[in-house]
Structure 1
Amino acid sequence: MSAAYPWLVADIGGTNARFGTVAGPGAPVADVRVLPVAGHAGPAAAVKAYLTGQDPAHPAPKSAAFALATALDGDQIELTNGAWNFSRARTQAELGLQTLLCLNDFEALALSLPRLSGAQLRPWAAAPDLGGPVPTGTVLAVIGPGTGLGVAGVVRAGDRWLALPGEGGHMTLAPADDFESAVLGEARQAFPHVSAERFLSGIGLPVMCRAVAAVMGQGEDVSALSTEQIVARGLGGESPACVRTLDLFCALLGGFAGNVALTLGARGGVFIGGGIVPRLGERFFQSAFRRRFEAKGRFQSYLAGIPTALITDTLAALAGAAQALDQADA
């Protein structure tokens, strides 16, 4: 028996928490609201504020699933980049829930993949085929350059989808040419281990830009630039170092995505989430991303058959939380 309705679903990051409800079987996520994490003492307080804004005639939620931007281990949960530190058991009791699931945010995003429609995606060439029966063993993967770099997968197992959460963003980043090797070498002066997240994220883009500027050797000072400024100046062509940084970002992301596809055997598709890539617009689809995705020597043809797509729906993780509840035993 699945979790009792109505459902409350949430996507909780360090800055904002998105909430929505699912009224019954097959219903979409509705009544979505965004609340600031810092404005509430914890998830229970935020949920109560969300419910206060709903129609009082609506029944209280009986089941909930929280997608959380943190690693999960045990009852006590602390957001990596947020102020909330809470007990899932006490939160469940305080809200009177029969079921409370807590998932890593990229675990939830991975579980959303089978539910995505064409309107929620922008594919690179051929679109992933998410319609119709899916063979057991099919794997989909998602990577998301946001504040950090999330990586997860999902595999079809009979009539269920099983999430494959992990910390793939901390894999060592691999260069593909002399310039990239020099940029990584520059970064290693400050960071002995240059992970993928060290460059391919909101916290990493300034690190990569400083390294790029140093290797280019044109004396450009980018030391004070934020990720937002790097993206803006790169897209506007105002800064040679920022332009080169965006090019390198797309290329390295493609190579990294190809590594994830090979590691997970994600022949059903690799999806790009997170907040950075959508800001790049056409620049991303004109970049070296797809060429580098496929540039794996003897396995080029294997990767050529794997579709890639950008997730354009910022609320996709809520659908993943709903998928987790849909598969939950009461």
Structure 2
Amino acid sequence: MADIGGTNARFALETAADRIEAVAVLPCEDYPNVEDAMQAYLATPAIRALSPDGVRYCALAIANPVTGDQVQMTNHHWQFSIEAVRQKLGFELFLVVNDFTALAMSLPHLAVDQKQQVGGGSAKNEHVIGLVGAGTGLGVSGLIPSNGHWTPLQSEGGHVTFSPADETEIGILRFAWGEFGHVSAERLLSGDGLELIYRALADMQGLSVPGLPAPEISRLALAGENALCEEAIDRFCAILGTVAGNLAVTLGSLGGIYIGGGIVPRLGQRFLASPFRERFEQKGRFVSYLAQIPTYVITAEYPAFLGVSAILSENIAAAASSEKL
């Protein structure tokens, strides 16, 4: 199984139910295409030892829409045919799904110690669950309950138009318009987005500062070494709160809102003390509605694998059932 983002491709082998082994993280930029990265992983000694007869089934979660056989990544240059890769690598079954669809499917399987609640609220059983997460891009999904099963949403909600919530964010939007014709939520809620917020705040304050990469902005903010970086992080979290709140009222996510992606889990206590939850509930007449919805940060190391496993298991079972008929 694999979880492929715009920066890294994460691979693992499920050797038995709920037993995930041989996890490997390969930089996408090191491989010209997805099949080369997959072949490199399958050729490792660990995989040859664990699966000497080869791998029959594979499911891949990827950070872009999956609407047919042809897949082209949004935040990386890889593109491929699902059927061509299946044939080349010899899989009996090869599934490709959106990465946040897979991450959404992991949510019911998260243990208590694999998530951290932010603020109040209590999840209602058998109700819709929402998911949003910032990393290389901004992923959005959700789970709809139906007859004891969950149906994941294949959403591209990260590309909705950014909506400022105060004068500062109006200024950030004006600054972003200088670079982009359409400013989506993802333009601000991503690694590049954090850098954009930092530059916008500096410009609004008349500061001449060097450009900083997102990891350095986060590091300086967490260390308390740079006030502008701290302000950028807080603004990032506030904007994420608005987007998460919008998702909650749009889906009616009384089962909770989960925060994934590569950025927020690394912020730790800084995120808990940020304006995120206050902004999440800031919906005028719907404050009391939002206050009852819990928000969680996903802290599991490789949560998407849980969802990929669930999706693959369902498809293998369905295929076996069809053969019997």
TM-score with structure 1 length normalisation? 0.88
- The amino acid of 1:11's aligned partner reads D
The aligned amino acid for 1:303 is L
Look up the equivalent residue of 1:106 and give its one-letter code: F
Q: How does 1:1-330 map to 2 (within 5 A)?
A: 9-24=1-16, 26-52=17-43, 53=45, 54-56=47-49, 58=51, 59-125=53-119, 134-135=125-126, 138-217=127-206, 219-222=207-210, 224-328=211-315, 329-330=318-319
The amino acid of 2:113's aligned partner reads A
Residues 46/181 of structure 1: CA separation in 2 closer, same or farther (3 Å cut): closer
Q: SS at the partner of 1:162?
A: strand
Shift of 1:307: 0.8
- Tell me what 1:4 maps to: none
Tell me the secondary structure at the aligned position of residue 192 of structure 2.
coil
Change (3 A) 1:290 1:189: same
- The answer for unaligned runs of 5 or more in structure 1 is 1-8
How far 1:60 sits from its partner (Å)?
2.6
Between Structure 1 and Structure 2, the one with more helix by share is: 2
From the superposition, tell whether residues 57 and 221 of structure 1 become closer, same or farther in structure 2 (CA, over 3 Å).
Answer: closer
State the Cα distance separating 1:127 from its structure 2 match.
8.0
| Aligned-partner Cα distance in 2 for 1:125–1:204 | 25
- The aligned amino acid for 1:51 is L
**Number of residues of Structure 1 aligned to a counterpart in Structure 2:** 314
In the alignment, the residues of structure 2 paired with residue 187 and residue 82 of structure 1 have an alpha-carbon distance, to the nearest angstrom, of: 22
Gaps of 5+ in 2: 320-325
Deviations for 1:219-263, whole angstroms, at most 9, x for unmatched residues?
2424x2111222222233333322211111111111111001111
> Contact between 2:4 and 2:60, CA under 8 Å: does it hold in 1?
yes
CA distance in 1 between counterparts of 2:229 and 2:267 reads 13
SS in 2 for 1:100: strand
- Residues in 1 aligned to 2:163 and 2:301: alpha-carbon distance in whole angstroms: 29
Q: Report the secondary structure of 1:61's partner residue.
A: coil
